Amino acid sequence: MPRHLTRQQEKAIFSKLKAKGFAQKPIKITEEGKHIRARIISPKKFQKGTFRTIPAGKDNKGGARLIVARTIGKRTTKVQSILIPR
C-alpha cells in the first residue's frame, strides 16, 4: 500500500528532481515498495494502454525510471510519473 510522505520529505525529493533537470513540481509523492513515485500529471489525462516505463537517461543503471504515455487526443508522449529507487 502506498505511503504518503511528509512535506519535508516531498521538498527533499523535489529538490533532487530539480537538480536532475525535472522542473515541473509533482502533484503527489508516495512510497511504493522499493521506489518513491513522484506523480507529475494525473493518469486520467492519458490514453489507456499507452503507458510505458523507460530509464531516465542513457547510462541510468539502477536509477530513476520514467512512466510515459500519450495524452488523450495526441500522438506524442509525456512523462506521467518518475520512479526513484530508495
Whole-model pTM: value is: 0.69
Domain ranges of the chain: 3-85
Structural contact between residues 37 and 1, judged by C-beta atoms closer than 8 angstroms: no
Q: What is the pLDDT of residue 1?
A: 45
* pLDDT on residue 69: 94
Strand 65-70 with 77-85, pairing: antiparallel
pLDDT top residue among 7 and 74: 74
* Residue-wise DSSP of 54-86: EESSTT-SSS-EEEEEEBTT-SSEEEEEEEEE-
Give the tens place of pLDDT for each residue, 36-66.
888 888 889 999 999 999 888 766 666 788 8
Q: Which residue type, as a one-letter code, is found at position 84?
A: I
